[in-house]
Amino acid sequence: MTTLIDYWQRIKGEYPSDRTQRFSSVRLFLSNRNRGHSWRFSSLGLARSEIVSARTQFKTFGDHLREFIRDGEPGQALDLINARGNRRIRDHRSDWIDILDIHFAEHFEKCNDCGAIEFAGDVSWAYDDYPICESCRDRNYVWSDHRDTFVSYDDADDEEEEDSIIGEYHSTEIGHIPSEYDKRKQRVLLGLELEFECSGDREDRASELLNAIQYSEGRPYCGVENDGSLENGFEMVTGYTGLDVHAKQLEFFKKAWRGVKSHDTRTCGLHVHVCKNGVTMLHAAKMIFFINESSNQKLIRAIARRDSNGYSQIKNKKASYEWLKHAKQHRDPLAHLNDDRYEALNFKNQRTIEFRLFKGTLKYQTIMACLEFTFATWHFTRDTGMSDLTIENFIKFICEPENKRDTPNLRHYLIEKGFSLPKNAVAKVHPKLMGQTSPDLVLADI
């Protein structure tokens, strides 16, 4: 007996890269032409006595939706999907936005609280990147002048309590930190978000971190925040600066930090933000293809230290170019290159591209390797043709004389992971330094 969910999973399995075929199968179901299947609705929580009425409901729903699509009435389609009586249908199909985007020119967002689907222009944003419908906004959120976004009532109350050094989510506002990289013809700056879990008092651990690296030559470098995905931890958020400032400030992580974990957790990630300024659609598309290309996943998994997951999705971007066509229809096409922010590359932020693929870590060399990888990827994809976005060419790129100064930790990291680099990428360690130098000192340009 095949369930509705089993059928959808089978369709996705049969057509993993053919988006058009998958949605054609969905339309067949909605128009009730798939009578050859024997449906069982118990997976939707229905009792036997409800099966007949459920069949009727699904047929009626499909007929009406097909009519609204044919007549070009997106508002009617939204009302139908969001109707209280159709909640089971809506909640058991996660890709209504994709279906609507295919058939209508408008863009849609899903409320992260109640799951209702709305026109993008009708939603509000809590914590800058959390879409909420008007009803949930009025019921659960309040505007924060301090953070310039909607926040929950609990967080609004917490803003008045300044007894914790750990700020609320997205409360850190540091901006630009002067760097030698400001002098370069193409100024490309980076910001870091790194999550930690604590085995003891997280306030004490946060205090240790801030005492060590909060300021860079008298200017703020980082802050610490709460994050709802963590169990007993916090997130470090830096300002935007060059690799030189990051390399100096993050030396704190060259020593063991007791009572704190990052890599060995289920919850912690490391996100790097890089400048979006000056990025063209071609440059952005090449960046997306490089990160998502299946033949490059050996490199991507090595630097990310994890596989694709719900918070950092790797997708087959060459299976269909609908995502690219869809983005080009908008006034700000870069912001619409991904449907939601949980892809490996997130273009939803106003000024930055977010590399979300990395797992958390407490190792200095690994943190710097992630920063250097992001920096190198920005330049490599800009300067390389679409057909040449390979692992081999990327390694050649980071070993070129003009790029070696920006990739010392990345090159050493890749050597440790088993990648072959040209001989001129590595230098011998001076005998007097043997046994007392950090890993990043074994490279030719240090």
The pLDDT assigned to 163 comes to 61
pLDDT tens-place string over residues 113-124: 888 888 888 888
Q: Which band of pLDDT confidence, cut at 50, 70 and 90, is reported for residue 52?
A: low
Instruction: Based on the fold, state whether residues 98 and 116 are members of the same structural domain.
Output: no
Say if residue 419's pLDDT is above 80: yes
105-156 pLDDT per residue, tens: 888 888 888 888 888 888 888 887 788 988 899 888 988 766 778 888 877 7
- Which pairs count as long-range contacts for 102-109, CB under 8 Å and 24+ apart, including other chains? 102/23, 102/322, 103/69, 103/77, 104/69, 104/72, 104/74, 104/77, 105/329, 106/74, 107/330, 107/336, 108/78
* Inside any domain, residue 44: yes
> What type of residue sits at position 4?
L
Q: What is the pLDDT of residue 386?
A: 95
Domain boundary residue, one of 65, 87, 106? 106
The percentage of residues in the chain with a pLDDT greater than 90, rounded to a whole number, is 52
**Which residue would you say has higher pLDDT here, 386 or 38?**
386
In a domain? residue 87: yes
Mean pLDDT throughout 30-43? 45
- 364 plus 296 within the same structural domain: yes
Answer whether residue 210 shows pLDDT above 50.
Answer: yes
Ordered DSSP codes for 77-116: HHHHHH-GGGHHHHHT-TTHHHHHHHH-SS-EEE-TTT--
> In terms of domains, do 283 and 361 share one?
yes
How much is the mean pLDDT over the chain?
83
The CA angle 373-377-382, to the nearest 5 degrees, is 160
Model pLDDT, residue 89: 63
Assess whether 293 and 404 both reside in one domain.
yes
Residue 17 confidence (pLDDT): 59
Mark whether 223 and 320 lie in a shared domain.
yes
Same domain, 142 and 217: no
Host domain of residue 421? 180-441
Q: What's the total number of domains in the chain? A: 3
Looking at the structure, tell me whether residues 218 and 335 fall in a common domain. Answer: yes
HSE-up of residue 245 (Cα within 13 Å, Cβ side): 26
Q: Are residues 58 and 146 in the same domain?
A: no
**pLDDT score recorded for residue 149:** 83
Burial class (CB in 10 A: 0-12, 13-18, 19+), 363: middle
Mean pLDDT of 352-375: 97
Residue 404: exposure state from Cβ atoms within 10 A (0-12, 13-18, ≥19) = middle
Q: Is residue 242 part of a domain?
A: yes
Are 335 and 236 found together in one domain?
Answer: yes
- The answer to whether position 233 is within a domain reads yes
Compare 360 and 422 and report the one with higher pLDDT.
360
Instruction: Answer whether residue 171 is part of any domain.
Output: no
pLDDT of 392 over the 50 cut: yes
- Answer whether residue 446 is part of any domain: no
**341 falls in which pLDDT band (50, 70, 90)?**
confident
Note the pLDDT of residue 12.
59
If pLDDT is split at 50, 70 and 90, which confidence band does 41 have?
A: very low
Of 89-103, 239-253, 271-285, 299-313, the poorest mean pLDDT is in 89-103
pLDDT number for residue 439: 38
Q: Is residue 401 part of a domain?
A: yes
Q: Do both 247 and 359 map to the same domain?
A: yes
| Residue 416 counted as domain residue | yes
Structure-token pair, residue 322: 């609908």
Judged by average pLDDT, the poorest of 125-134, 322-331, 335-344 is: 125-134
Q: Are residues 154 and 207 in the same domain?
A: no
Strands 219-220 and 215-216: antiparallel
Higher pLDDT, 278 or 33: 278
pLDDT given at position 146: 65
Q: In this model, does residue 25 exceed pLDDT 90? A: no
Q: Based on the domain organization, do 295 and 373 belong to the same domain? A: yes
User: At what angle are helices 408-416 and 297-304 packed, to 10 degrees?
Assistant: 110
DSSP 3-state helix, strand, coil percentages of the chain (rounded to 5)? 45, 15, 35
Give pLDDT, residue 239. Answer: 96
Tokens read off for 146: 């301090």
